[in-house]
């Protein structure tokens, strides 16, 4: 190890990077959740509740949204995680001691977060409205209740595994394909067989294309196998369009092919390939939204996650499999992911060609 400075740096540097990421980037507290707020009441109590929601660190208001349909559509597109409607007549119901309700639509994909949000809204509503009622009524009057009408749009059963598996599918395929692609070159370079291949009539492009094609087929077969396990072992169906999922699968494989080629170009042996791959894959696991939602990441790591292909792969996998989001709503994410796929494969291909030398 002392005679290999690259291995030495990676061996001691990688744990430091892991420690810094866990210590500074990740935040397990639920806060700044993207929220759509509709206030149709426009009276004192309704405005007070809307003010409490907007001032809470738990919510980060997006929009504005003018109707229930717009807010729910934003929820399905993934722009917000929760939509809250304070209906007209909210203040009047409280004034006349009738049951008042607040309508809430929540993304139930992450069952833990959605449950926490509903509980927090219940507490916020009671706190805000009871303050107003006490100011208007005497303490001897029985205080009316506030009811949260919750609508869970995805994963209504609240199964944690239904949230984890679609994201895990993307992470596993990225890890397997990246490592296999990197090792296919690093192992042959270490054994000396890569140089023997270079003196054959095969060009560098044919060698790279042959290896990439073989690894891509392995990635596609592995994807099919994992999807079958997801469907029949964990009982997680593909809620969205099957054709949309099939269109997504090539992107799921092409991106790690480019990553693997890039790692292979900078690895001289098996050990370096594994360590370089870990350097690239680690941020993908921690910052992509697989473990914790991206909106819970601290600055500047929340911005960094927007430049990680895995962030879009995890999001697309969950949107198609769990949420059933339409192709029109997913088009921006698909375009960005396709750009990542093409760009990374071209960069990886050129890097490997350069590392193989000029013939």
Q: Higher confidence at residue 1 or residue 80?
A: 80
CB 239 within 8 A of CB 158: no
Taking alpha carbons only, the member of 45, 73, 32, 37 closest to residue 133 is 45
Q: Using 50, 70 and 90 to split pLDDT, how confident is the model at 79?
A: confident
Contact 181, 216 (CB under 8 A): no
- Please check the confidence at residue 5 and state whether its pLDDT lies above 50: yes
Tens digit of pLDDT for each residue in 155-178? 777 788 888 899 999 999 999 999
Q: Determine the average pLDDT of the residues in 133-154.
A: 63
Contact 166, 318 (CB under 8 A): yes
For residue 234, the tally of other CB atoms under 10 A from its CB is 12
CA distances from 149 to 87, 100, 102, 105 (A): 11, 10, 6, 8
> Per-domain residue ranges for the chain?
5-26+160-356, 33-152
Task: Give yes or no for a cis peptide into 97 (omega within 30° of 0).
Answer: no
**Who wins on pLDDT, 99 or 178?**
178
User: CA-to-CA distance for 157 and 143, rounded, in angstroms?
Assistant: 33
Task: Indicate whether 117 pLDDT > 90.
Answer: no
pLDDT score of 274 more than 60: yes
For 302-317, the pLDDT digits (tens) are 788 888 899 999 999 9
Please determine, for residue 115, whether its predicted confidence score (pLDDT) is greater than 90: no
Which range among 200-209, 311-320, 329-338, 340-349 shows the weakest confidence by mean pLDDT? 200-209
State the pLDDT at residue 218.
93
d(CA 27, CA 42): 35
Q: What is the dihedral of CA 64, 65, 66, 71, to 10 degrees?
A: -170
Name the DSSP letter for residue 315: H
Closest CA to 351 of 179, 176, 182: 182
Q: Of 5-9, 29-33, 54-58, 174-178, where does the model show the most confidence?
A: 174-178
| Domain covering 33-152 assigned CATH 3.40.1710.10 in the classification | yes
Instruction: Enter the pTM of the model.
Output: 0.80
Residue 47, judged by CB atoms within 10 A of its CB (0-12, 13-18, 19+), counts as middle
Over residues 261-281, mean pLDDT = 82
The conformation of residue 61, written as its DSSP 8-state character, comes to: E
Q: In whole angstroms, give the CA distance from residue 110 to residue 167.
A: 11
Mean pLDDT in residue range 143-160: 74
Average pLDDT, the chain: 80
DSSP for 155-175? -TT--HHHHHHHHHHHHHHHH
* Residue carrying structure tokens 């093409």: 342
Whether the predicted pLDDT of 4 surpasses 90: no
Residue with tokens 């449950």: 115
Mean pLDDT score, 243-251: 93
pLDDT score of 141 more than 50: no
Rg (CA), the chain: 26
The confidence score (pLDDT) of residue 7 equals 62
Mean pLDDT calculated for residue range 32-45: 84
3-state SS assignment for residue 202: coil
In tens, the pLDDT along 323-336 reads: 888 888 889 889 99
Residue 88 has pLDDT above 80, yes or no: yes
Non-local (6+) Cβ contacts of 9 within 8 A are none
Give ∠ CA 321-323-324 in degrees, rounded to 5: 70
């Amino acid at each position: 190890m002392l005679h290999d400075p690259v291995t030495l740096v990676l061996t001691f540097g990688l744990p430091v990077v892991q420690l810094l990421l866990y210590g500074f980037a990740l935040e397990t507290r639920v806060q700044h959740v993207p929220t759509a707020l509709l206030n149709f009441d426009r009276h004192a109590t309704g405005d007070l509740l809307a003010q409490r929601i907007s001032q809470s660190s738990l919510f980060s208001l997006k929009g504005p949204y003018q109707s229930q349909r717009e807010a729910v559509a934003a929820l399905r597109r993934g722009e917000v995680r929760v939509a809250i409607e304070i209906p007209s007549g909210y203040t009047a119901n409280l004034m006349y001691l009738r049951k008042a309700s607040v309508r809430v639509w929540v993304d139930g994909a992450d069952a833990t977060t959605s449950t926490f949000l509903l509980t927090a809204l219940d507490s916020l509503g009671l706190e805000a409205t009871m303050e107003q009622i006490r100011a208007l009524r005497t303490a001897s009057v029985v205080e009316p209740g506030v009811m949260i009408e919750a609508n869970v749009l995805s994963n209504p059963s609240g199964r944690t595994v239904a949230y984890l598996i679609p994201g895990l599918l993307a992470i596993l395929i990225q890890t397997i394909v990246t490592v296999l692609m990197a090792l296919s070159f690093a192992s042959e370079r270490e054994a000396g067989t890569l140089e023997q291949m270079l003196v054959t009539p095969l060009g560098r492009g044919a060698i790279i294309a042959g290896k990439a094609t073989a690894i891509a087929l392995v990635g596609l077969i592995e994807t099919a196998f994992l999807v079958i396990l997801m469907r029949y072992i964990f009982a997680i169906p593909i809620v969205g369009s099957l054709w949309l999922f099939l269109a997504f699968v090539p992107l799921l494989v092409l991106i790690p092919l480019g990553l693997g080629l890039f790692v292979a170009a900078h690895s001289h042996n098996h050990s370096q390939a594994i360590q370089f791959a870990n350097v690239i894959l680690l941020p993908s696991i921690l910052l992509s939204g697989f473990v914790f939602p991206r909106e819970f990441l601290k600055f500047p790591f929340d911005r960094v996650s927007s430049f990680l292909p895995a962030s879009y792969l995890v999001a697309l996998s969950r949107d198609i499999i769990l949420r059933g989001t339409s192709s029109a709503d997913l088009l921006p994410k698909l375009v960005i992911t396709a750009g990542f796929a093409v760009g990374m494969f071209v960069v990886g291909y050129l890097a490997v060609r350069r590392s193989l030398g000029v013939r």
